Amino acid sequence: MAVELTRRDEFALLTLNRPEALNALNAATIREIGEAIDEVGQRDARALIITGAGDKAFCAGADIKEMLGIELAAKKRKAETGQATFAKLDRLPMPSVALINGYAFGGGLELALASTFRLGTSRLAVALPEIKLGLMPGYGGTQRLPRLVGEARALEMIMTGRTVKSDEALAIGLVNRLVPDESRVEDAVAFAREFTCYSLVALRHARAAVRRSLAVPLEEGLRIEADLSTLAFQSRDAQEGMSAFAEKRAPNFVDA
């Protein structure tokens, strides 16, 4: 299997498992990623952590050899399949954390960009190098990267194909934090616990409010926020949280 789905305490751990190919994305791997995300959505995990097997790469991007000779219609279907697969992370009932351990090029970076958060090790090296092949990103990179780091920085990365290392990635907000390589999974778990201790209902509404606001004017975004904050207020967890605050005790959230 190109993808391994395991459990790490209260979290699901998805590992891209083609270390001999730097965890590159071929059609089978994309399909297995989609199936794994669907499976996680049916489980009781509090977050999904995504990483790559081996010591060199999170994911080296698309399998270029597989792309040679395919017709235009097939290429478009391939791009749409990759986009749809990564977009499943938006619909997960729990947040996701991409743990970038080494190279994340092309589709590998696009998978990380689709995650809720990104952590990197000191060996992180990320790029959208498609321009060097006479191509451009096709799995969401041109849409998600500008939203994350701004238009100018995104255009520079996309139009030069240059590689960004760990310190710069942190400085421009491409990753949330850097973690030691030797304890990366443990640190990803600790990072996830900083927010998964709260109600998944409230977290889901907050994620949706931010995500939806990026596509609409501020006035419409404020209406979305009002609607979703009202839905959050109606949850059992909201009542428990407010009661616990008034009673000066820790809340017992049940994700409902």
Catalytic member of 110, 151, 168, 247: 110
* Known catalytic residue at 130: yes
Q: What's CA 185's distance to the chain center, in Å?
A: 15
The active-site residue out of 10, 20, 39, 130 is 130
Query: Strand, coil or helix: what is 116?
Result: coil
**Looking at the DSSP assignment, which residues form a beta bridge with residue 59?**
104
Query: What backbone torsions phi and psi does residue 54 show, to the nearest 5 degrees?
Result: 90, 180
**Phi, psi of 251, rounded to the nearest 5 degrees:** -75, 155
**Measured distance CA(216)–CA(225) in Å, rounded:** 12
Give CA–CA dist 98/113, Å, rounded.
8
Q: In the annotation, is 10 catalytic?
A: no
Q: Which residues are catalytic?
A: 110, 130
